[in-house]
Chains A and B, each alone.
Chain A
Amino acid sequence: MLLIKDLRVSIDGEEILKGINLEVKAGELHAIMGPNGSGKSTLAAVLAGRELYEITSGKVLFKGEDLLEKSPEERAKDGLFLGFQYPIEIPGVSMVNFMKTAINSIRKNRGEEPLSASEFLKKMREKKDLVEISSSLTNRSVNEGFSGGEKKKNEIFQMAMLEPELAILDETDSGLDIDALRIVARGVNNLKSPLNATIVITHYQRLLEYIVPDFVHVLYNGRFVKSGGKELALLLEEKGYEWINAEEVN
């Protein structure tokens, strides 16, 4: 589904990603872990199409097509979703209107008819139940006045609505209390299927108690320095990133 080859990315002349290689197949759940400043969020933003970055070399294929050539909205149409670390507030725009515009823009770009109002509302209800988000959130303006936890839950709700093939969740767990963390994890698990894939980016091992990854990658200083199964996360938790640091030096 996703194939990243030797991806190098700079911002203001400083190299952040120094040759990333990754393959994600349908049905897989990957966790990318790493300390602050290792390049995790940069990788997520580049995959979603944020323009701030300069891609100096490398290739990214999404479903066999060159991802980096495409605009952010084309990537969304192709089925890529980014759960934001810091979800953006859009005052005055209701969640209902926002989601409806998003879904129907994507459908239009795919050559499909827009959803009728009743189809749309039915879908809203279903997905709200699936991710256990309350109506009080979906009746408000996009992220406006939401608490940190509510914003993250709202990201999961949007993911449920848009049914992406590849979801990248950028530190969705940061700043969550244990209850919110459970809800977010449950949402991710409920949405998992053999046809889609998820990349969970996280700083802590904590989230991985609720979401079991197939693969764990450790991003350090712009490179994947270790990859393995879920046991790698436990090892990291135990020994800390210092351990990687030492390994690197050796």
Chain B
Amino acid sequence: MQNEQDHILNEVTSGEYKFGFYTDIEQDSIGRGLDEDVIRTISAKKNEPEFMLEFRLKAYRHWLTMKMPEWAHLDIPVIDYQDQIYYSAPVQKAKLNSLDEVDPELIETFNKLGIPLEEQKLLSGVAVDAVMDSISVKTTFKETLAELGIIFCSFSEAVREHPDLVRQYMGSVVPYTDNFFAALNSAVFSDGSFCYIPKGVRCPMELSTYFRINAANTGQFERTLIVAEDKSYVSYLEGCTAPMRDENQLHAAIVEIVALGSAEVKYATVQNWYPGNKEGKGGIYNFVTKRGICKGDNSKISWTQIETGSAITWKYPSVILRGHNTTGEFYSVAVTNNRQQADTGTKMIHIGKNSKSIIISKGISAGLSNNSYRGLVKVLRGAENARNFSQCDSLLLGDKCGAHTFPYIESANHSAVIEHEATTSKIGEDQIFYCNQRGISTEDAIGLIVNGYAKEVLNKLPMEFAVEAQKLLQISLEGSVG
């Protein structure tokens, strides 16, 4: 059995990562290294107003005083922050007639990723902001959305066109002092998406940002800000991929969500960064700070994440339940295979009365990987009748991987009710044999079992993406059971 398992494990090759290609396009890059001049250069390239540069410099100076966090259950190699490139943008070669036109080569790249940038070819009902390395290439359906007063554009554009909104909300949920990676991002962030839903508007389409790392040795530091005014609604989806390279690449992003009174924001991620090869060479280091605040009463923020990529994942999408009767949700499936490492979970901070949170985390570990859930449920003194339910399940494939659960509960209010359930299970040989006997191949059986296990989370994704996510789970685990 052991030999068989080793054999099958050996069959897993990096070739299964479908998005590992590289687009050979001229890049406008700055040199390696990080200092105040680099930050000034980035800011100048983006024609930013003065306040933005000041924000970046403050963050940078603060970052210099900080150390990389070491508390996660991760084995992170030493990262030389002076050996990274902090800005790299594809140069559009073709002569363009209008600002809205995109170099055909970039269109081709996104086509290959399954993200057509021409509006008529897009999935109906999904608007996309396509980001490659340090810049946004194209945002679709901008005009259609603008008719409803919705702003959906690249972060750089928002800084120039809507500086007051950016100034009001940027850093209000994740201040640059928050943590090491948040400080780094605040200093050097390149592009990302900005989204503003005005009062009472229900956004009629899914908004989506697709992040692509293309250039070598370059870090991606995007920043996304979503503001939902009173009684508005938006559903947001983020996808990401990168070429296969032997070197590790750094990705340190920030996502901030502000939900005002009775607003609802759903944020879903299908994270498929290159995970490295089976020996653990290469892959993205994914250090991300995602946080939302339910600022107004009766508001709701929901995070759904499908994490299959990255060599290392350090990520805790959180909700601050400031208003009364607010709801925070976290649904997660995190898959690790080969030598991937993930330390991921959430924080639910209950401040308002009758605030509710639900955490459903499904870890799946295979190969030699390590998969940890880390979650904090904190109830402050004033949070009368706060409720939390957490369920953390781990599924093991094979006997060389690890699954860990680190739940933290801090409650300062006696009326709070906090429930935590955890299970660990293994895909059994007898389950596989049962499927085999019914004519189902081992690969399909694993897909069936894993998707059954993750169903509660997959069901939270928008329909079109749920199907993609199911396939992705199966591909990520191909050949991982003996």
Contact = CB atoms under 8 A, between A and B. Distances in A.
B418 interface: no
A73 B439 contact: yes
B460 to A, nearest CB: 14
B435 to A, nearest CB: 8
B436 interface: yes
Interface in A94-118: 94, 97-98, 101-103, 105-106, 109
Interface stretch (B71-79, B175-183, B350-358, B449-457): B449-457
B115 interface: no
Contacts of A88: 428, 430-431, 433-434
Contacts of B452: 90-94, 97, 141
Contacts of A87: 434
B440 A50 contact: no
B82 interface: no
B436 A72 contact: yes
B437 A90 contact: no
B436 A90 contact: no
A162 interface: yes
A48 B448 contact: no
Nearest to A48: B437
Given A101-B448, A141-B452, A90 B440 contact: no
B439 A71 contact: no
A199 to B, nearest CB: 15
Interface string A45-83: 000111100000000000000000001110111000110
B23 interface: no
Contact of A50 (B431, B433, B444): B433
A101 B441 CA distance: 10
A43 B38 CA distance: 73
Contact of A92 (B1, B436, B437, B455): B455
A98 B448 contact: yes
A77 B437 CA distance: 9
A92 B448 CA distance: 9
B396 to A, nearest CB: 15
A158 interface: yes
A49 B436 contact: yes
B121 interface: no
A89 to B, nearest CB: 8
B434 A102 contact: no
Interface centre among B435, B449, B451 (most CB of A within 10 A): B435
B67 interface: no
Given A88-B431, A92-B455, A72 B437 contact: yes
B439 A49 contact: no
Nearest to A75: B437
Interface in A136-175: 141, 158, 162
Interface in B1-59: 1
Given A90-B448, A92-B453, A76 B434 contact: no
A120 interface: no
A92 B458 CA distance: 12
Contacts of B440: 73, 101-102, 105
A90 B451 CA distance: 11
A84 interface: yes
B455 A105 contact: no
B95 interface: no
Interface string B420-440: 000000001011011111111
B244 to A, nearest CB: 31
Contact of B438 (A92, A94, A158): A158
Contact of B437 (A49, A94, A103): A49
B438 A98 contact: yes
Contacts of A109: 439
B439 A90 contact: no
Contacts of B439: 73, 76-77, 102-103, 105-106, 109, 162
A102 B438 contact: yes
Nearest to A108: B439
Given A76-B439, A90-B449, A141-B452, A101 B444 contact: yes
B448 A93 contact: yes
A109 B438 CA distance: 12
B426 to A, nearest CB: 12
A90 B434 contact: yes
Interface string B448-482: 11011111100000000000000000000000000
A98 B334 CA distance: 24
A204 B435 CA distance: 28
A73 B431 contact: no
Nearest to B455: A92
A51 to B, nearest CB: 8
A158 B428 CA distance: 21
A75 B456 CA distance: 34
B118 to A, nearest CB: 32
A94 B430 CA distance: 18
Given A90-B452, A92-B456, 16 more contacts: A49-B436, A50-B433, A73-B439, A73-B441, A76-B436, A76-B438, A91-B453, A92-B451, A93-B451, A94-B452, A105-B438, A105-B439, A105-B444, A141-B452, A158-B438, A162-B439
The 3 residue pairs across chains A and B that have the minimum distance between CB atoms: A92-B452, A93-B452, A76-B439
